[in-house]
Amino acid sequence: MKTIGMGVLILVALSSGAEAQGLRPVRATRGNVGLGLIVAQPVGDFANFVNVGAGLAGHGVWTPDPGGTLGIRADGSFIVYGNERRHYGLVPLVDVGVTTTNLIAGLQIGPQVTVGRGSLQAYGFGQLGFSYFGTTSSVDGGYGNTTNYDDVAFATAVGGGLLLQVSHGRHPVAMDFGARYLHNGRARYLTEGSIRVTGNSVFISPIESQANLVVYQVGVTVGLR
């Protein structure tokens, strides 16, 4: 969290400096929406059980003040941190493939502060919400999908990023580089190897631990008028 906080301060300084150099100003927007690719790095106890995950994230920001400095930000994300594939005999001479996926889906909302009115802008935010930990299995061909195990955890997030404008039209487009610390606290979840199948019996062994992440994002943001 300290590292991300220092990063936000550096981004704010860069943005202020760029504005002072007279980069092309843009009109304030009423907010923005964005979509990006994310990489999730487990930290603390979580890193002992889970490898790096990847997925997609989307966000929306509403800025009620004309200056566009203060806003309300909502983030949604979908992360896959494990995947297994097995084959089982359905009937003699016929096997079916089953894919088991470990995932984290989340939604958080909270205030955001944006600094800069030029081509380079910095933002920082804090949020409250939830994270959903789930493991599902599906049969090849989409003939069946089962939730093997799931849990929901209260989540908080703090983060920031840098917007680099690439278009200055009515709906300005920017590259979005960001990071956030996602604190899920203790959660129960499955990993690769948590499900064992012996004959017709299925044994599920959930893990309980702190389940916190640092999430890095690269994406595109579109301004709204």
Say what the pLDDT of residue 98 is.
Answer: 86
Say what the pLDDT of residue 167 is.
Answer: 86
- Residue 141 neighbours by CB under 8 Å, 6+ apart: none
Q: What is the dihedral of CA 22, 26, 28, 33, to 10 degrees?
A: -120
Determine the Cα–Cα distance for residues 133 and 151; give it in Å rounded to an integer. Answer: 5
In this predicted structure, which of 11-15, 86-90, 110-114, 196-200 has the lowest mean pLDDT? Answer: 11-15
Say what the pLDDT of residue 68 is.
Answer: 80
For the chain, what is the mean pLDDT?
Answer: 86
Determine the Cα–Cα distance for residues 131 and 43; give it in Å rounded to an integer. Answer: 16
Say what the pLDDT of residue 56 is.
Answer: 98
Look at the block and give the residue holding tokens 């003939």: 143
Mean pLDDT of 200-216: 94
The number of folded domains in the chain is 1
Domain housing 78? 2-224
Categorize the per-residue pLDDT at 145 as very low, low, confident or very high, splitting at 50, 70 and 90.
Answer: confident
Mean pLDDT of 110-121: 90
Percent over 70 (pLDDT), the chain: 84
Say what the pLDDT of residue 86 is.
Answer: 83
Q: How many residues does the chain have?
A: 225
φ/ψ bin of 24: left (φ > 0), alpha (ψ from -120 to 50), beta (otherwise): beta
Q: What is the pLDDT of residues 169-199, one digit of tens each?
A: 788 999 999 999 999 999 999 998 899 888 7
Categorize the per-residue pLDDT at 211 as very low, low, confident or very high, splitting at 50, 70 and 90.
Answer: very high
Determine the Cα–Cα distance for residues 207 and 152; give it in Å rounded to an integer. Answer: 14
Q: What is the pLDDT of residues 6-52, one digit of tens each?
A: 444 444 444 444 444 443 444 456 889 999 999 999 999 999 999 99
pTM: 0.83
Say what the pLDDT of residue 19 is.
Answer: 44
Main-chain phi, psi angles of 58, to 5 degrees: -130, 155
φ/ψ bin of 48: left (φ > 0), alpha (ψ from -120 to 50), beta (otherwise): alpha
Q: What is the pLDDT of residues 122-144, one digit of tens each?
A: 999 999 999 999 999 998 876 77
SS3 44: helix
What residues does 87 pair with on adjacent strands? 97
Give the domain CATH number at 13.
Answer: 2.40.160.20
